[in-house]
Structures are given as structure tokens and as C-alpha cells.
Amino acid sequence: MNLNCTITFTVNGKKKEIRVDVRQSLLEVLREQLGMISVKQGCAVGECGACTVLIDEVPTDACLYLAVWADGRSIRTVEGESRDGKLSRVQQAFVDEGAVQCGICTPGFVMAATAFVEKHHDQKFSRHEIRRGLAGNLCRCTGYDTIVTAVQKCLDEDDQ
């Protein structure tokens, strides 16, 4: 039985056409075929958010998402967030506020935070609401305070 098929999608603004096994997750295809190693495998069961990418601007666990479902869609990963060597403003806010944590959880947090900031750029949120907005992303070892501060800073800048 042939379990391979060709999908066409956009990754960080670039069109890609690749052969995938219909059983492969988007996480596997992004990491192993396209070299997008910012997309981390943590739990692999949709609990931790380490594999968060934006699919048509919606934060999504790539470990639970079959690559074939991405056909025709647009994917964003951390690799595409900086431009001409300049960090995105969410990335820069993470650096400025000391919110960059380990290499496993940080890429997913950056993508979830990016989606949150872009969706809510003209709104005000309490720290508690921002935490709820990022509830799909877990860190097993530190606090979330600096991440919330970085997101709040981006929202506050938009409000000025």
C-alpha cells in the first residue's frame, strides 16, 4: 500500500512541495525534512506546547497535527520570525524581559505569544488573562512571570 503523497504548503513565507508519509506528524516533517529544528518535541501528546507553530495564524500543536492536513496552508515557525538579522518584537521583548528560558519550551512560547499579541494588539489584558491565553504552553522548571511581562509590554506598546 502506498502511504506517501505530495503536499504543497507555505513555511515562513516560502512555498514548499514535499513527499510525506500520511502517518507523519507536521512536527516530524518540519524537523526532519525541512530542518525547522526550533519545533521541539516535548510530550508528543498535545500537553506541553513545545511544538507550537502557527497554522494559518492559529497556534497549533504540531505533534498532533498530521502533515497531510497542512496541504494548502500557511505555517509559521520561530525560524521565520526574525528579519534581516533583527528579532521580531515579541522575540526582542522576551530578550529584554529575561523571558528566554530553555531551548525546549521557548520556541513554542514565542509562537504562542506572537499569535496572542497579533490577535489582541488593540486590547488590554490583565496578567492573569495573558497567562490564560498562554495556558497551552508549559514550563516544567521556572516561573511564567517574565513571559507574561514580555507579552504585556508588546500589548502596551500597541496601545500607545
Residue 143 sits in the site that holds ligand FES (CB under 6 A): no
Residue 95 sits in the site that holds ligand FES (CB under 6 A): no
CB of 41 to ligand FES, least distance (A): 5
From residue 9, alpha-carbon distances to 54, 75, 132, 138 in Å are: 13, 8, 31, 28
Residue 4, H or E segment: strand 4-11
Residue 48 sits in the site that holds ligand FES (CB under 6 A): yes
Residue 150 sits in the site that holds ligand FES (CB under 6 A): no
- The cell numbers describing 54, all together, are 502557527
- Contact indicator for 8, 17 with CB cutoff of 8 Å: yes
Residue 142 sits in the site that holds ligand FES (CB under 6 A): yes
CB of 122 to ligand FES, least distance (A): 29
Residue 93 sits in the site that holds ligand FES (CB under 6 A): no
Size of the site for ligand FES (CB under 6 A): 20
Candidate ranges 81-89, 102-110, 112-120, 148-156; the one touching ligand FES (CB under 6 A): 102-110
Q: What angle do CA 152, 156, 157 make, to 5 degrees?
A: 120
Residue 147, H or E segment: helix 145-159
